[in-house]
Amino acid sequence: MSFQFSESFWGNNEDGYKAIRSWLKGIKISSLEFQNFISQSTTRNATETFLLEFERIANSHAKFAQDLKEIVQQPLNEWSLDQSKERKKCKEIMKNTLKNKQNYEMIALKCEEKYHYHCKDFDTLQSSKIGLSGKDYEKLENKIRKAQQLKEESEKEYRVAITKAQDSYHVWRNGTKEALEKLQQLEELRLNQLKVNLMLISNISASVHSSNTMSYDVVRQSLEKCAASKDLDLFIEQFGTGNVIPDALHFKDYYVHSPHTIEDNISIMTIKSGNYVENGTPTSEKSENKLSSFFTKKSPPKQIVEELWVAPDEDILPQIDPNDTNL
For 295-306, what is each residue's pLDDT tens digit? 344 444 444 444
- Domain CATH for 131: 1.20.1270.60
Looking at residue 295, its pLDDT comes to: 39
Is residue 245 domain-resident? no
Same domain, 27 and 124: no
Is residue 246 domain-resident? no
Looking at residue 266, its pLDDT comes to: 53
Same domain, 14 and 92: no
Across 121-146, average pLDDT: 81
Looking at residue 171, its pLDDT comes to: 95
Highest mean pLDDT among 217-221, 228-232, 272-276: 217-221
Confidence of residue 321 (pLDDT cuts 50, 70, 90): low
Same domain, 132 and 109: yes
Per-residue pLDDT of 36-93, as tens digits, reads 656 666 667 777 888 888 888 888 888 888 888 888 888 888 888 998 999 999 999 9
Looking at residue 272, its pLDDT comes to: 47
Same domain, 235 and 319: no
Q: Across all residues in the chain, what is the average pLDDT?
A: 75
Same domain, 272 and 168: no
Kindly state the DSSP code that residue 70 receives in the 8-state scheme.
Answer: I
Helix, strand, coil percentages (3-state) for the chain, rounded to 5, are 75, 0, 25
Spatial CA neighbour of 276 closest among 263, 267, 264, 265: 267
Beta carbons within 8 Å of 309's beta carbon, 6+ residues apart: 254
Q: Domain tally for the chain?
A: 3
What is the residue range of 141's domain?
A: 43-226
Same domain, 207 and 313: no
Same domain, 113 and 136: yes
This prediction's pTM: 0.50
Same domain, 23 and 50: no
